[in-house]
Amino acid sequence: MEKIIKPMSGYLTLILTLVLLAVSIALFANSHGNGWMITGGVILSLSGIFLSAGLIVISPNHSRVLTFFGKYVGTAKENGLLFVNPLYTKQKISLRAENLESSRLKVNDSMGNPIEIAAVIVWRVADTYKAAFEVEDYEQYVKVQSEAAIRHLATSFPYDQFEDENASITLRGGGEKVNELLEKELSDRLAPAGIQIIEARISHLAYAQEIAGAMLQRQQATAIVAARTKIVEGAVGMVELALEQLSKKEIVHLDEEKKAAMVSNLMVVLCAEKAATPILNTGTLYQ
């Protein structure tokens, strides 16, 4: 478990180190073969070098994980020049938010259709102990587990309702719900590494190239059928209204044969893709 420690300020140690090194240089310069002065200069210079090994500089949103001969001591997050035990091993871990844009993964959706999917993930280290010791390489762990989560999400739902009309959630139409599911999946997978997911969004979603053309034709055909259905429903209503008004106002009396001819003509005019060309009838309705 992460343990936060607050090391002492390193400015006093820095001054002491500089003084020791300056004195050692002076002793070397004035030794003139004196063994005691040379020995004292060596001791002071080694002491200065040893103390300088304990100086660390921590920038904002950075940290140092400290260990002492394999034992976890704590994590230093305080910014500035600090001094710790020179024998500590210091591992630098960034606490800044990181962006990960996955490659375009080719997977099969829940209906077996090959699709391409990619996501943008914003993450940060929340627990430095887990990031340093629970996994081998936390950045590589984030990358691998993120791709696994995206693949799992893609195989759990159909691409669109064209494939499964009863689907409550689809990859294409799920919107924020799909993103929320992806964030939860990532949080569960990356929790052992102490990673916090800030945001996850689907950045690319499309049918695979080998079926993209066929699926586009299918979508176009479905759209055309839906449009035609609306046109026919509207045309039937207009014809019904026309016959009702003609009968109500007694503008013209139509028998069943005349009604059938009028309905046929009106349906052709209302449902045709192009404007109808009128034909003048100089005879009777029965000719």
The single-letter code of the amino acid at 3 is K
Tokens of 77: 């997050």
User: Binning pLDDT at 50, 70 and 90, where does residue 88 land?
Assistant: very high
Does the pLDDT of residue 282 top 60, yes or no?
no
Phi, psi of 86, rounded to the nearest 5 degrees:
-60, -20
> In degrees, to the nearest 5, what angle opens at C-alpha 217 toward C-alphas 214 and 218?
85
User: Binning pLDDT at 50, 70 and 90, where does residue 162 land?
Assistant: low
- Is the CB of residue 266 less than 8 Å from the CB of residue 240? no
Return the C-alpha torsion angle 67, 73, 79, 85, nearest 10. -70
Does the pLDDT of residue 172 top 90, yes or no?
no
Q: Transcribe 139-183 into DSSP letters.
A: HHHHHHHHHHHHHHHHHHS-SSTTT-TT-S--TTT-THHHHHHHH
Tokens of 277: 């060309």
pTM of the predicted model over 0.75: no
